Amino acid sequence: MGALKETLRKVLAEENERIKKLLVGHGEKVVDQVTLSQIFGGSRSIKSLFCDTSSVPPEKGLILRGYPIGELAGRSPEEVFYLLLVGKLPDAAALKDLQDEWKARREVPAYVWPVIDATPIDTHPMTVLSIGILAMQKDSLFFQRYEDEMPKDQYWEATFEDALTLTARLPDLCAYIYRRSFKKGPRIAPDPTKDWAGGFVHQLGLADPGGALSELMRLYLVLHSDHGGGNVSANAAATVNSALSDLYYSLAAGLNGLAGPLHGLANQECLTWIQGVMKKFGGVPSVQQITQFAEETLAAKRVIPGYGHAVLRVTDPRFTSFVEFGKKRCPEDPVFKTVLNVFEAVPKVLQKHPKIKNPWPNVDAASGSLLCHYGLTEQNYYTVLFALSRALGICAQAVHARGCGIPIVRPTAATLDALEKAAKS
């Protein structure tokens, strides 16, 4: 891993130089302003964070290190993790280096399994994942080295080591959570011949003749890897990490945010909603029937999962990539066909409500239908897949934040009195 670490050292030195230059003479430059509505509106669109791994222009969607996400659809999670860390795709040697490193570190320590086994079997898989990550916290190199008086300029190296170990171990941990939660049998040992996604599918123990599920998993793990710095999971993890809580604490914090139904849990909710409409109409519902069902959902003051977004104002390109996969691989699947009909019906329903700023599908609108098609039918598990992927972005962001010396995050909260005074002034 020496080569990747040395490349990162150079990349971080250049990044720091750019930040230093930017701040000299421009430190007081105003880049945004804050309105009262934004303070009461979830801080939407205020530019107050720094994140260089990816960005989400509202009219385009996710861009990872300059690559629109659709262009990365054929890549592996390993390549994307390298890209997030270093800013460019790896050559063959660098890719092999990272794959070998992940393989060497992938075994979850034996003390973790009894911790997992102590949770009630009906505990949500996201809770079990969070517990599993925190159970490994004692292995944090950052934590240990901080206790040994690590100097500040080495924070990023210790964070990088934790990032590699954590991301290497997660497939094993996540696969066991699946096997245990859904009574699929004992843990399956890692297969050293497989890549990160293929090895994970192998450990899930699902049939994968022809490798289509592994291909879908590769796509899934690429598409969910990062989404800028302001989303709940990235933002929560970055805030916690800025207190120099190590990556185990920070990742668990971020993933706890991902477990919310307005964020990552929406992919589980989305499949449940789709199954609800299919059940009601006895098969693949027509666009008209879905329209009626969607209007009933809104009338019941519920959200339609998989639609809308806090930033995006177009169809999420990650949804488009999943749809392209489905059209190629399983166009006749009834759940997938329903997803396409929902795409025709729901935006028109949402557009009738001007308060809904984005009527278009997000990443969660199609993935469940594809997972179901390949036998991964337990939707309570879907956010764990999202988490496995999002860990790549969270870890890469933390390495850069510590490498750039970003201080503890501490915005100021105003009282109602102070805001009323500001409104009058």
Q: Is 256 near ligand CMX (CB under 6 A)?
A: no
Does residue 237 belong to the site contacting ligand CMX (CB under 6 A)?
no
Choice from 13, 22, 121, 262 touching ligand CMX (CB under 6 A): 262
Nearest approach, Cβ of 55 to ligand CMX (angstroms)?
15
Among 65, 180, 202, 309, binds ligand CMX (CB under 6 A): 309
Using the rule CB under 6 A, is 39 a contact of ligand CMX?
Answer: no
Pick 54 or 214: Cβ nearer ligand CMX: 54
Within positions 363 to 382, which residues make up the interface with ligand CMX, using CB under 6 A?
363-364
Nearer to ligand CMX, 106 or 263 (CB): 263
Q: What secondary structure does DSSP assign to 270-296, as a single string?
A: HHHHHHHHHHHHTSS--HHHHHHHHHH
Q: Does 307 bind ligand CMX (CB under 6 A)?
A: yes
Q: How far is Cα 305 from Cα 367, in angstroms, rounded to an integer?
A: 12
Q: Which residue is nearest to ligand CMX (CB)?
A: 308
Specify burial of residue 150 (Cβ count, 10 A radius: 0-12, 13-18, 19+): middle
Kindly state the helix (H) or strand (E) to which residue 67 belongs, with its residue range.
Answer: strand 67-68
Report angle CA 220, 125, 209 to the nearest 5 degrees.
45
Q: Considering the complex, what minimum distance in angstroms separates the CB of residue 269 from ligand CMX?
A: 7
The stretch near ligand CMX (CB under 6 A) out of 80-88, 260-268, 271-279, 406-414 is: 260-268
CB 323 within 8 A of CB 361: no
Question: Exactly one of 224, 309, 373, 400 is catalytic; which is it?
Answer: 309
Residue 56 or 128: the one with the smaller Cβ distance to ligand CMX is: 56
The span from the CA of 403 to the CA of 417, in Å, is 39
Residues near 320 by Cβ (< 8 Å), separated by ≥ 6?
A: 70
Active site residue 263: yes
Q: Which residues bind ligand CMX (CB under 6 A)?
A: 231, 262-264, 266, 298, 303-310, 355-358, 362-364
Catalytic residues: 263, 309, 364
